[in-house]
Structure 1
Amino acid sequence: MQTQAIIAPRISTLPVHEPRARAILRWLVRKDIIEEQPSTCGSTGNRMAYAISAGARAVVERPELLPFGERVNGLEVVTDRCIFTPMDGFLHEAGCPQCRREVGEALFDSLEDWMPGHTDNFSCPECGHEDDINGFLFLQPCAFSNLGFIFNNWERAGLKKGFVAEFADWLDQPVAHVSVYINSI
Structure 2
Amino acid sequence: MREQQAIIVPKISSFPGHEARARAIVRWLVQQDIVAERQTTCGRTFNKMAYGIAPGARQVVEQPQLLPFGQPVNGLEIVYKRCIFTPLHDFLEEAGCPQCRKEVGVELFDRLEEWMPGHTDTFVCPLCGHEDDINGFLFLQPCGFSNLGFIFNNWAEAVFKPSFLDEFAERLGYPASLVRVDL
Is the TM value for this pair above 0.5? yes
Deviations 1:59-112 (A, max 9, x none): 000000000000100000011111111111111000011111111111011111
- Partner SS state of residue 13, structure 2: coil
Q: Give how far 1:14 is off.
A: 1.1
* Residue type at the aligned position of 2:81: D
* Residue type at the aligned position of 1:16: G
Give the match for residue 115 of structure 2. Answer: 114
Give the match for residue 27 of structure 2. Answer: 26
Q: 5+ residue gaps in structure 1? A: none
Compute the RMSD of aligned alpha carbons. 0.7
Q: Give how far 1:127 is off.
A: 1.3
Paired with 1:105 and 1:155, the residues of 2 have a C-alpha distance of: 28
Give the match for residue 93 of structure 1. Answer: 94
**TM-score, normalised by the number of residues in structure 2:** 0.98
Q: 5+ residue gaps in structure 2? A: none
Q: Which runs of 4+ in 1 moved over 4 A?
A: none
Give the match for residue 42 of structure 2. Answer: 41
Give the match for residue 14 of structure 2. Answer: 13
Deviations 1:137-166 (A, max 9, x none): 000111101111000000000011111111
1:181 aligns with 2:175: no
Q: How many positions carry a matched residue from both structures?
A: 182
Q: Give how far 1:167 is off.
A: 1.0
* Residue type at the aligned position of 1:72: V
Deviations 1:30-78 (A, max 9, x none): 1110111111111112111100010000000000000000010000001
* Residue type at the aligned position of 1:22: R
Give the match for residue 166 of structure 2. Answer: 165
Q: Give how far 1:23 is off.
A: 0.3
**TM-score, normalised by the number of residues in structure 1:** 0.97
Identity %: 66
Paired with 1:166 and 1:82, the residues of 2 have a C-alpha distance of: 23
Higher strand proportion: 2
Paired with 2:66 and 2:165, the residues of 1 have a C-alpha distance of: 18
Give the match for residue 130 of structure 1. Answer: 131
